[in-house]
Amino acid sequence: MNAAERPVKIVPKPAQAGEPLVVVEDITKVFDVSPPWLNRVIERKPRTLLRAVDGVSFEIARGETLALVGESGCGKSTVARMMVGLYAPSRGRVAFDGTDLATLGTAAGKPLRSKLQMIFQDPYASLNPRWKVADIIAEPIRVHRLIDGDAAILARVAQLLQHVGLAPADAEKYPHQFSGGQRQRLSIARALASQPTFLVCDEPTSALDVSVQAQVLNLMRDIQRQDGLTYLFISHNLAVVHHVSDRVGVMYLGRIVELADKSTLFSTPRHPYTRMLLDAIPDMQMTGKARTPVAGEVPNPLNPPTGCTFHPRCPLANDRCKAERPVLRRLDDGAQVACHAVEEGRG
């Protein structure tokens, strides 16, 4: 193997003080879920628009793991897809390493594509069942032309399989020959094949058994430390979030209602919705502490409540909450909360 064919590991750029790797500015995603045009004409109905994400902003530092949590339908996965360019924001901007992701589809944005990768929720659906593992993992290497020569590519595939705890001989197998946890390891290996610096993990362990979840999460943490990766981790499982995250953003009906360091959010949650989510976690220590389950149902996102969208379920809501949308405000300890009750000291 000559020098040109030898796999080269790309080392991420060293972190610079105050320079985030990912910047998300007021992104919004609106989907048109209207019936067909003829139906609307006959029934005399207007277009129906779903605001899946509504003005979300945050930053992710190099080497950091930011987790987004919330109930199903809150917009977490839509944010994830906008972070890698699968969806274009209806409004707002996503910047990666100083470059707007709107350029991903252009020649100028081509170098960015290998730096952004995604691990999907279902390992059974995210791998091509007709391809061997060697072809699945080698595809990003070939598409981005990272290594020349079939022998060098196969050597890199073997290296990646070992990196995620599998054997090089597994390259000749098909996805159906693996368990769920092993398939997710294959998904991780495929994501790492393009030598990314930023991984979006969309509930990567929710389809796995609890014991396998721990193995995959520990693997992802080890890989992050070894390769200097930055993660956006999407989950509805607060126990998983506590294990992997540095900061946590809580989403409700397309908006971030609280954003704080992991230790701050779990020890002193401010927003009533965050408190209710934490209270719903089973008390394994049997402390006898009074616990309040998450009450009520998530409102219809096609017709969200006015003002604070959480007010129909909030025990602290008043007339201001029903009429005025709260703004995400930074508190003294650095946490950000969008809640009139917290602002007025009613919490």
Within this chain, do residues 60 and 189 fall inside the same structural domain, yes or no? Answer: yes
Within this chain, do residues 217 and 345 fall inside the same structural domain, yes or no? Answer: no
The number of CA neighbours under 13 Å toward the Cβ of 15 is 13
Within this chain, do residues 34 and 157 fall inside the same structural domain, yes or no? Answer: yes
In a domain, 136, yes or no: yes
**Residue-number span of the structural domain to which 72 is assigned:** 20-266
In a domain, 116, yes or no: yes
Within this chain, do residues 228 and 282 fall inside the same structural domain, yes or no? Answer: no
Within this chain, do residues 257 and 279 fall inside the same structural domain, yes or no? Answer: no
- Tell me what the pLDDT averaged over the chain comes to: 87
Percentages of the chain per state (helix, strand, coil), in multiples of 5: 35, 20, 45
Within this chain, do residues 165 and 311 fall inside the same structural domain, yes or no? Answer: no
Please give the share of the chain, as a percent, with pLDDT higher than 70: 90
Please give the share of the chain, as a percent, with pLDDT higher than 90: 61
Within this chain, do residues 285 and 149 fall inside the same structural domain, yes or no? Answer: no
Residue 210 and residue 207: Cα distance in Å, rounded?
9
In a domain, 12, yes or no: no
In a domain, 47, yes or no: yes
Q: Higher-confidence residue: 178 or 15?
A: 178
Within this chain, do residues 160 and 76 fall inside the same structural domain, yes or no? Answer: yes
Within this chain, do residues 208 and 251 fall inside the same structural domain, yes or no? Answer: yes
In a domain, 4, yes or no: no
Residue 282 binned pLDDT confidence (cut-offs 50, 70, 90): low
Average pLDDT over residues 266-271: 93
Residue 293 CA: distances (Å) to CA of 31, 73, 282, 338: 31, 19, 10, 21
Residue 117 binned pLDDT confidence (cut-offs 50, 70, 90): very high
Question: End-to-end alpha-carbon separation of the chain, Å?
Answer: 65
Average pLDDT over residues 174-199: 93
Average pLDDT over residues 122-133: 90
In this structure, are residues 66 and 35 in contact, taking their beta carbons and an 8 Å threshold?
Answer: no
* Tokens (6 digits) for 328: 């995400």
* Tokens (6 digits) for 157: 């595939």
In a domain, 194, yes or no: yes
Question: Torsions phi, psi of 68, nearest 5?
Answer: -110, 125
pLDDT at 311: 92
Q: Higher-confidence residue: 1 or 26?
A: 26
Give the CATH number of the domain where residue 175 resides. 3.40.50.300
In a domain, 14, yes or no: no
Residue 169 binned pLDDT confidence (cut-offs 50, 70, 90): very high
Within this chain, do residues 66 and 194 fall inside the same structural domain, yes or no? Answer: yes
Residues 6+ positions from 286 with CB-CB distance below 8 Å: none
What angle do helix axes 180-192 and 150-163 make, rounded to 10 degrees?
130
Residue 7 binned pLDDT confidence (cut-offs 50, 70, 90): very low
Strands 65-69 and 247-252: parallel
pLDDT at 330: 93
Checking if the pLDDT of 326 tops 50, the result is yes
Q: Of 102-111, 176-185, 266-275, give the lowest mean pLDDT range.
A: 102-111
Other C-beta atoms within 10 Å of 279: how many? Answer: 15
In a domain, 175, yes or no: yes
Residue 77 CA: distances (Å) to CA of 18, 35, 115, 254, 303: 27, 24, 19, 10, 20
* Tokens (6 digits) for 97: 């390493």
Strands 230-234 and 49-61: unpaired
CB crowding 59-83: b at 16 or more within 10 Å, else e? bbbbbbbbbbbbeebbbbbbbbbbb
Within this chain, do residues 129 and 205 fall inside the same structural domain, yes or no? Answer: yes
Residue 288 binned pLDDT confidence (cut-offs 50, 70, 90): low
Average pLDDT over residues 241-267: 94
Q: Count how many residues are written for the chain.
A: 347
Residue 103 binned pLDDT confidence (cut-offs 50, 70, 90): confident
Residue 293 binned pLDDT confidence (cut-offs 50, 70, 90): low
Q: Kindly provide the residue ranges of all beta strands, DSSP E only, lying in 183-302, ordered along the sequence.
A: 198-202, 230-234, 247-252, 255-261
Domain count, the chain: 2
Residue 63 and residue 249: Cα distance in Å, rounded?
17
Within this chain, do residues 256 and 158 fall inside the same structural domain, yes or no? Answer: yes
Residue 96 CA: distances (Å) to CA of 29, 57, 103, 233, 289: 18, 14, 11, 16, 43
